Amino acid sequence: MGILISETTREEREQIVAESIGNINGSCDGCMAGLAEMYQDYIDGKREIRDINMEFRAHYESGEEAPSRSSCGYMN
């Protein structure tokens, strides 16, 4: 099984994300739910997971405007 949108169904993409990030219902003040939200475009078939990861990494490395962290969760 691949991970590209063209190779997967929505259900498979949901499973890929859930397995990749672990328990999205974790008890860490919503941090896992925020992480799962980051991949919603992939689950919806709008953007490849690689593109989402590259964008996140670019924001992290460059310090450009990005969601800020408050303890374990993200704030806008």
Q: Which helix (H) or strand (E) holds 70?
A: strand 68-70
Where are the domains positioned within the chain? 5-75
pTM over 0.95: no
Give dist(CA 14, CA 27) in Å, integer. Answer: 20
- Say if CB 42 and CB 36 are below 8 A apart: no
Give dist(CA 67, CA 58) in Å, integer. Answer: 13
Per residue in 18-44, pLDDT tens? Answer: 888 875 555 555 555 567 788 999 999
Would you state the pLDDT for residue 60? 66
Would you state the pLDDT for residue 11? 95
pLDDT: which is higher, 4 or 21: 4
Q: Of the candidates 27, 14, 31, 15, which has an alpha carbon nearest to the alpha carbon of residue 67?
A: 31
Would you state the pLDDT for residue 4? 96
Q: What is the mean pLDDT of the chain?
A: 77
